[in-house]
A = this chain, B = another copy of it.
Amino acid sequence: MFQLFPREEDFFVLFRKQAALVRESSDMLYQMMDSFDRLEERAKELKDLEHRADLVTHEIFERLNRTFITPLEREDIHALASNLDDVIDAIEAIGSRLLLFQVRNPTAEALRMAAILMECTRQIEQAVDNLKRMNNLMSFTIEINRLENESDAINRNVTADLFSGRHDVLDVLRWKEIYGRLEAAADKCEDVANAIESIVVKSR
């Protein structure tokens, strides 16, 4: 049951699986918003991706429990896996609300925020790919930070517009929540960046 020697590879392979699922989810959310058809089917596909990601996360945690020596600190493996899982949860929650809230069609700003999220998850996938070699991750952190700031700026301006008195109050509430969650998902990507940064910081 317990392993004495680490199989280093395993953790990195599993992290890559998680990161690929994160990226797939954000692609699917963007497509859902862009085409805005078959919402029910697409929301279900996002749920399936989230479920597959849950299984990978659990596999990482179980392997962590069975392994004596790990290639990274235990708590860092735990934090990175949890944070990657949080991004997919946040993305799935947005897709589900696009369906449930019966919004008529996505705004240009929502679509732009979904595109930013897609770019964030591509950055994450690359950083996770480079994790083992511990290449310079500074440019990655700066880029994720820049993307999150852009998402935040859109959210501010669009919320100001929502509060301008030009919109139906229920639409205000629906979109405020969707924009807020798009920005929160970009924020979760920044948490992943911080987890990765923390790993690199300790490896010096």
Contacts and interface: CB of A to CB of B under 8 A. Distances in A.
Contact of A100 (B78, B101, B157): B157
Contacts of A177: 159
Copies, count? 3
A202 interface: yes
B170 A74 contact: no
B156 A65 contact: no
A52 to B, nearest CB: 15
A101 B160 contact: yes
Contacts of A204: 2, 64-68, 74
A201 B82 contact: no
Given A198-B75, A201-B78, A202-B74, A62 B97 contact: no
A108 interface: no
B156 A197 contact: no
Interface in A156-204: 156-157, 159-160, 163-165, 169-170, 172-174, 176-177, 194, 197-198, 200-202, 204
B201 A159 contact: no
B163 A75 contact: no
A202 B76 CA distance: 11
B201 A74 contact: yes
11 contacts: A64-B201, A65-B201, A65-B204, A68-B204, A93-B156, A97-B160, A100-B156, A100-B157, A163-B173, A169-B169, A172-B173
